[in-house]
Structure formats: structure tokens, C-alpha cells
Amino acid sequence: MLLKIANYSASSSASSSRHAIRKGKTQHSLYSLSKTPLRNSSSNSIPINKIAKRGFEPDVVTVGTLVKGLCNVGRVHCALQLFDQLCDKKLGERVIIYGALIDGFCKMHEIGRALEMHRRMVKAECKVNVLTYGMIIDALCKDGLISEAMEMFSEMIDSGIHPDVVVYSSLINGFCSLGRFKEAVKLFNEMVDCGISADVVTYNTLIYGFCQPGLWKEATIIFTQTVGQGISPCVLTFTILIDCLCKEGKVAEACGIFKLMIKQGKEPNLYTYSSVMSGLCLVGRLDDAKKLFNLMVDKGLKLDVVSYNVMISGYCKSWKTNEAIQLFQEMQCKGLKPTAVTYNTLIGALCHAGRVRTAHKLFKEMQSSGPSPVFATYSALLGGLCKNGQIEEAMDLLQSLESTKSEPSIQSFNLIIDGMCKAGKFELARKKFEEISSNGLVPDVSTYNSMMDGLCKKGMSLEACELLIQMEEKGCLPDSISFNIMIQGLLREKEVQRAMQLLEVMRKRKFLPNEAVTSMLIHVAMVDEQSRAMLQSLPTFLET
């Protein structure tokens, strides 16, 4: 619709200028004055005043051009002020002026003012056209006001104005954005029944709408329908569907669509290639992804950070950290600045691979010249340092995190408490836990889990049980992790009966024991007859 609006404005301006020039020197002067730069002029300095002082009588061409010019630079209220000053003038047909104001208010997301202009337009018996209705309907849909958009749609039809493909596309997009796909398809079918041919934009709207929640089957059906109707899918059509299929793990299907795209002579763009590469990496086809990466280079495409991030992530997930670092260095040599995603991916992978020193070096580089580290960065590095036994470095990192946060959040407390517990500094963690309420915050399930895990590892599972009770009393419900931590801790301390009691509660809440707890339960049952009897008395988890 925006393209139609742009074309409409351009053609109207061209027509208006020719009309003004034909009227002679006076109108030509007026038109020239109306084209003077408006962006930097003050809101009170309206060029129409200059026109009045020169004794010229403004007409619809002059005023229309001024109004559109003001709207184009975001001075819609000034344009309205100008229009209001000239309401008593005989300007002739004002549909262009009203249209410009409505368009301006819609673009400024002042839909209430746009509707007000529409009402004024109707009251003034100015003929409202499909373009004007289309602007308002599109703006309402983009604001999620689909009911109001449908009311305007009904008013439009009642007024004898036939909606076009642009109006229908706006409404279809509005329904899709809200996940109301049945209504979107119903409207699409209604449009076709009315003899309005859907264009590639309409089909793209439907395909994109279904792709957002991962409804790839429905999206593929619409794509097939597009081709069946003799409409040639554009690059965007292919890219939307390929991206959806890859994200849903349907990589073979995505590659099939990709091949069809090339066969039809559509040149994939950077995003298309990146989507396919991401899908290939997802299913472990790194060699094929790298071939595609190299093909992009051979075709002269200027690779961006996203393209590199996709390959770096693929290598990291396959534990090929050397190849990932090589690409990281290559992108920097090409002048591409790594993003937080780039650093987080690498730091996390290096820590998992035990290369904590390299990860720490990257973290320092990120602090000095890259994007600011986020919680995911601190969390990955902290876990790596603790796992590697670098307790002092972990504590320094925690202090660094604390110093960067002017306003503490429960997430920052969780990260610090978890790090302290993993570093064996439980008393410091307890002290930090006690500070939460004084900062106006409330512990969440992650906070309690870290504390209970720390207590259990210190051989204080009974105190951890008290914390579990306190957690529930304060309205924070334990999750599967909470129960697994507690049962594991109790079994380590031979508190089998308490562990069985918690196991029964866990079963009733439909949580399952993890591998570690299951292994410990089997061991307990093998060495202790009483424990075996307790386990046998519990209904199996598979029955829940």
C-alpha cells in the first residue's frame, strides 16, 4: 500500500505542477514558493503567510503541495494548522489535501487524528476514495486494532467504494499478525470471489503470517498455490519460506525450495543464503554450509556479520572452536565488527571446551573495544572459570559485574549467587542472598535453586529443606530442578526417608527425576532393603 501511496503522491505532484505552470506566471510563482524547504522553518512560520502578503490567492494546488511538503517532513500539525486557516477559502476539490493529512497522521501513529480528519472529510461532503480508506485501514491493522479496521472496511463498502487488493492485503496482514489465520484465509477467499486477483504481495503476507508461529505446512501450501495461480514468487517469497523451513528443522525441504529459486532465475540475497546456512548447520551439515559460504564470496556478495555469526555458531555447536576463531579473525580483518552474539557464542563454546583462558581473553577484548558484555556473557565465562577451578578470577568477574550494574536486578543477583556457590564461597552467597530484599527485589526459582544446591553440596541438606519450605510459603513454586537438587542432596547424606517423601511430592506434581537422581535411587535400592521397599511402594512415574 505504501508503494501505491508513493506513486499517487508522485503523480499528483507532477500533475499539479503542470496545472500550475499552465495558469501562468502568478500561479508559477505561488508554486515555486510552495516548494521552498520546510524542514528547518519554525512551526509558526507558515509559507502561506508570505503568499497572502504578496496578494496572491492560494488554490488547491498550492495548498495541497504545501500540506504534503509539511507532512513529508513530519510537520503534520503545522500542515493541519495551515489547512484550518484556509477552510473558508474556495479551494475546490480537497481530496488530495485531506489524503495528505490522513497519510501524515497515520505515519505519525496518530490514528485518532487520522480518523478525525476522515470524519471532517465526510462531513464536508468531500469524496472519500479507496486510497484514503486504505491508509486508515492499514494504520489500524498495524496498531493491532483489527476490529476497528473491519468497521472502517464495512463503512467503505456501505459507501459504495470497492476495496482493492491493497486494502485486502492490509487486513489479511492484520489478522495474521494477531494469529487469526482462519479469518485471514476467509478474507483472502472473499477477495478472490469478488474477482480481485491476489498479487505476490498478498501471497507474501499470508506466507509470512503462517511462518511466524512455525506453521510451515500451511505456508508451503500457500506457496504452491501461488505458483499454481501463475504468479511468479519473488526473492522475498522464497526467502520467507526457506527461513521458516530451516528454523523448523525442515532443511531438506528448504534446500528444495532454494534450488527451485535458482532454477527460476531468482538471485538469492544475503539473508536467503544465511537462512540456508543456518539450517545446514542445525542438522550438522557444516561442510555444505561452508560451501555455500564460499559460494557467496565467489559471487561477489559482501558478507555481513550475520553470515559470519551463522558459520561461527555452526562450528561452535560442533566443537570446532579453532575454525570458529579463524572465521572470527577473518571477519575482523574485513572490517566487520563482531556483535554481542558473536562474542557470546565464542566465549560459551570455548568455556565448554575447557579453553577458559582464550575465552577470558576474548571477554577482555569485548570489554575494551567490543559491545558491552551481557548476562549471557558473564554467565558463560563464570561457569567456565568455576569449572576450571579459577576461583579468584571468578570472584574478580563477579565484582566486575556488580560494579557495572547501577540498578541491581534479580538476574544479576542470581548470576552472582550461582557463581559464588560454584566457586565454593557459600557464606558470601548467603550474604548476597540476604541483600535481595533490601534492594526491593524478590528471589525467584533460580535464586532458591542456587542456594539449595550450595547448601546440599556443603552437606546441609536439612537446611536446604527449610529453604524449600520457605520458598513455597513465599509463593515461589519449586520446579523439576528444585526437586532433583534436594533429592540428590538428601540421598548423599543418607536421608533416604526424606528423599522418598520428596520423590512422592515430585511424582504428584508430574516432575521426573534426572539421570543423576535415577542412578542414585537405583544404587540405594540395591544396597538397602528398606529403601528398596520404599521405592517399590511408590507408584511408578510412568503412570502419571
Residue-wise DSSP of 148-184: HHHHHHHHHHHTTPPP-HHHHHHHHHHHHHTT-HHHH
4 pLDDT band (50/70/90 cuts)?
Answer: very low
- 481: in domain: no
* Residue owning grid cell 494548522: 81
* Structural domain contains residue 70: yes
Q: What is the mean pLDDT of residues 253-280?
A: 95
Angle between helices 25-34 and 60-72 (to 10 degrees): 10
Residue 40, in any domain of the structure: yes
In three-state secondary structure terms, 270 is helix
The model carries a pTM of 0.69
Q: ∠ at Cα 328 (363, 251), nearest 5°?
A: 115
**Residue 121: CB partners within 8 Å, gap ≥ 6?**
94, 95, 98, 102, 128, 132
List all residues 6 or more positions away from 327 whose beta carbon is below 8 Å from its beta carbon. 308, 311, 312, 315
Task: Specify the pLDDT at position 79.
Answer: 73
Residue 106 lies in a domain: yes
Q: What is the 3-state secondary structure (H, E, C) of 310-343?
A: HHHHHHHHCCCHHHHHHHHHHHHHCCCCCCHHHH
pLDDT at residue 76, as a whole number: 76
Average pLDDT over residues 312-322: 95
**Residue 51 — very low, low, confident or very high, per pLDDT cuts 50/70/90?**
low
**Residue 176 grid coordinates:** 495474521
Question: What is the C-alpha to C-alpha distance for residues 107 and 94, in angstroms, rounded to an integer?
Answer: 20
Name 534's Cβ contacts closer than 8 Å, sequence gap at least 6: 496, 497, 500
Residue type, position 111, single letter: I
Looking at residue 56, its pLDDT comes to 55
Predicted confidence (pLDDT) per residue in 167-213, tens digit: 999 999 999 999 999 999 999 999 999 999 899 999 999 999 999 89
In a domain, 295, yes or no: no
Q: Are 450 and 429 in contact (CB under 8 A)?
A: yes
Range of the domain at 99: 1-128
Amino acid making up residue 172 = I
pLDDT for residue 482:
97
Distance CA 26, CA 274 (A): 58
> Amino acid letter at 465?
C
Nearest Cα to 468, choosing from 498, 508, 497, 437?
A: 498
How many residues are recorded in the chain? 544
> Looking at residue 355, what is its pLDDT?
93
In the chain, the N- to C-terminal Cα span, in Å, equals 54
Q: What is the pLDDT of residue 543?
A: 46
pLDDT of residue 9: 36
Whole-angstrom CA distances from 137 to 62, 129, 235 are: 28, 13, 27
Question: pLDDT per residue over 363-393, tens digit each?
Answer: 999 989 879 888 888 888 888 887 777 877 8
Residue 122 C-alpha cell reads as 465526510
- With a pLDDT cut of 70, the percent of the chain lying above it is 83
Percent of the chain at pLDDT above 90? 52
CA-to-CA dists, residue 531 to 120, 144, 148, 544, angstroms = 82, 59, 65, 22
What's the mean pLDDT when you consider all of the chain? 83
Q: Is 215 left (phi over 0), alpha (psi -120 to 50) or beta?
A: beta
Closest C-alpha among 197, 199, 198, 208 to residue 175 = 208
Secondary-structure breakdown of the chain: helix, strand, coil percentages, each rounded to the nearest 5 = 75, 0, 25
Helix (H, G, I), strand (E, B) or coil at 432: helix
Domain count, the chain: 1
Between 215 and 51, the higher pLDDT residue: 215
Residue 58 lies in a domain: yes
**What pLDDT is recorded for position 210?**
92
Alpha-helical runs (H) found in 178-234? 181-193, 200-211, 216-228
Do 104 and 79 touch, CB atoms closer than 8 A? yes
Q: Which helix (H) or strand (E) holds 497?
A: helix 496-508
CA distance 167 to 199: 12
Residue 130 has pLDDT above 80, yes or no: yes
Q: Tell me, yes or no, whether 210 lies in a domain.
A: no
User: What's the pLDDT score for residue 308?
Assistant: 97
Residue 63 lies in a domain: yes
Q: What DSSP designation does 539 have? A: P
Integer Cα distance of 125 and 507 in angstroms: 71
Residue 514 · residue 483 · CB < 8 Å: no
- Nearest alpha carbon to residue 413 among 383, 445, 443: 443
